[in-house]
Every structure is written in structure tokens, then in C-alpha cells.
Amino acid sequence: MAQNEVRIYETVFIITASLDDPTITSLIDKTKEFITTNGATIRSVDIWGRKRFAYPINKKTNGYYAVIEFSDSGELVHKLERFFNIEQDIVRFITIKLDKKALLTKAKPKVEEGVKQ
């Protein structure tokens, strides 16, 4: 595999829901700035909003979910994990490399069946 091959990653992170909306927005902007400053290109940002956890995490029952899809050569992932570990208001995070099948599935538009009478 080539050293400078560009890969597409998706990171999902959960922010403490007890923060106010401007603070949450600034933390998401700070994360996007960190990603672009380290040479990656952001492909999409998806905000899922406040969600209830299936089980308590650090004695909290709610979190604010955000998803960022970005392309990078792979050097940013470790830096991003360190960034998330340092940030006190990020409860959980996961970064995955999207494979070609996932990208093709994501790119295909959903076709809805017509109502049969």
C-alpha cells in the first residue's frame, strides 16, 4: 500500500449534553479546525443532535452526537484520538476507515418503491 494514499475516514464523537448549544457548536468547530489544520479535507459534517444513551456513560444518560467524514493519508487518526482524549467534554469517540463497498453504498441514492394499489 502506498504511503501517501488518501483514505476516507468517518469519526463519530459524543459531546456532553449538559453544555449549552453555543459551547457545543464551538467544540464541533474546534474539531473541524483541528482536522483541516492537520492537512485533511472534510467531506461532510452530520449533526445527529441530543440522544439518550442505551446505558449510562460516566454517570450521564444523554449526549450530543456529531459525525465528520474526512479524507487523509492516515497520519491524522492518532492525532485526532489524542485530541479527543484531551478534550474533557467529549464522552466517547470512534474513527473508522470507510472501505470501497461502504462508499459505493453510501453514494447510491435510495430508490423508494411506489405505493401499490
* Fold of domain 7-101: Alpha-Beta Plaits (3.30.70)
Strand 90-97: give its sheet, edge to edge: 41-57, 60-72, 7-16, 90-97
Residue 46 — pLDDT band, cuts 50, 70, 90? Answer: very high
How confident is the model over 80-92, as a mean pLDDT?
95
Residue 4 — pLDDT band, cuts 50, 70, 90? Answer: confident
How confident is the model over 89-93, as a mean pLDDT?
95
pLDDT at 73: 86
26 or 114, which is more confident? 26
pLDDT at 11: 96
Please state the domain extents for the chain: 7-101
pLDDT at 109: 63
Mean pLDDT of the chain: 88
23: phi then psi, degrees, rounded to nearest 5: -70, -40
